[in-house]
Amino acid sequence: MRFLRPFALVLALVATAGVASAHEFEIGDLELDHPWIAEPPPGAPTAAGYLEITNESDTADRLIAVRCVFAEKAEVHEVTIDAAGTMQMRPLPEGVEIPAGGTVSLARGGYHLMFTHVAERPVAGDMIPVTLVFEHAGEIDVMFSVQKPGMQDDDHMDDHMDMDMDGDHTMEMDMESGQ
């Protein structure tokens, strides 16, 4: 990965300069990256939230609960699409495990935070507080940025950034101070 670093640095700079939503939070050994909510269509009763969670400790943790004020119910859900093309979405009452030293992406077509009976519609540009509860690391209030559902480029940008920052925490510190 070493050879990728100059390239990664450029990407990271572009990402911080161009994408206001590429933001991070930390609680204990957990790093929470690019929390965002897809702007739901007007009148839609549900919304989905996404982020990437990296566990830098040598003990597994678990995202066990979600709380928010803009919707009546907040849960962790998993979407699966089987070989016949059927989509199933289910709540995960036990939450999602964040393995020791691992990264779990809550992303479209996989895990997401499910907000049901949305009282106030999140609109692109909003920053919305959501409380994430982890089994070991505890609770943290995270600001989710609301984005149009078609804005996938942001995700890709973040993927590049994270991919290359795994072994280089110095850069991550620099980026944090720049925000």
Partner 1 sequence: MTKRRLLVALGILVLAAALGIAALVVHYGGGEQEAAQQPIDIGGPFTMTDQNGVTVTEQDLLGHPSLVFFGYTFCPDVCPSTLAEIASWLDTLGDEGKDLAVYFVTVDPARDTAEALGQYVGYFSPRIVALRGNANQTAEIAASYKAYYKRIEMDDGTGDYLMDHTAAVYLMKSDGTFFDAITFTATPEEAVAKLRRLLAAS
Minimum CB separation from partner 1 for residue 143, in Å? 19
Question: What element of type H or E holds 165?
Answer: helix 153-165
The secondary structure of residue 4, as a DSSP letter, is G
Q: How far apart are CA 92 and CA 129, in angstroms?
A: 21
Binding mask 28-67 for partner 1 (x = CB under 8 A): ----------x-xxxxxxxxx---x---------------
Pairing assessment for the beta strands 71-81 and 127-134 based on DSSP bridges: unpaired
Among 2, 58, 85, 170, binds partner 1 (CB under 8 A): 85
Q: How far apart are CA 43 and CA 41, in angstroms?
A: 6
Looking up tokens 């077509």, which residue turns up?
109
Phi-psi category of residue 101: left, alpha or beta, with phi > 0 → left and psi -120 to 50 → alpha: left
Q: Does 100 bind partner 1 (CB under 8 A)?
A: no
Q: Does 70 bind partner 1 (CB under 8 A)?
A: no
Q: How many residues bind partner 1 (CB under 8 A)?
A: 42
Judged by beta carbon, residue 91 or residue 125, the one nearer partner 1 is 91
Q: How far apart are CA 15 and CA 147, in angstroms?
A: 16
Phi and psi angles of residue 96, each rounded to the nearest 5 degrees, phi first: -125, 130
Among 17, 18, 20, 90, binds partner 1 (CB under 8 A): 90
Q: Does 123 bind partner 1 (CB under 8 A)?
A: no
Query: Site residues for partner 1, window 148-167 (CB under 8 A)?
Result: 148-150, 159, 162-163, 166
The secondary structure of residue 53, as a DSSP letter, is E
Candidates 24-32, 62-70, 87-95, 138-146; binding stretch for partner 1 (CB under 8 A): 87-95
How far is residue 46 CA from its own chain's centroid? Answer: 17
Among 68, 74, 114, 157, binds partner 1 (CB under 8 A): 114
- Please give the residue ranges that form the binding site for partner 1 (CB under 8 A): 1, 4, 38, 40-48, 52, 73, 77, 79, 81-91, 103, 105, 108-109, 112, 114-116, 148-150, 159, 162-163, 166
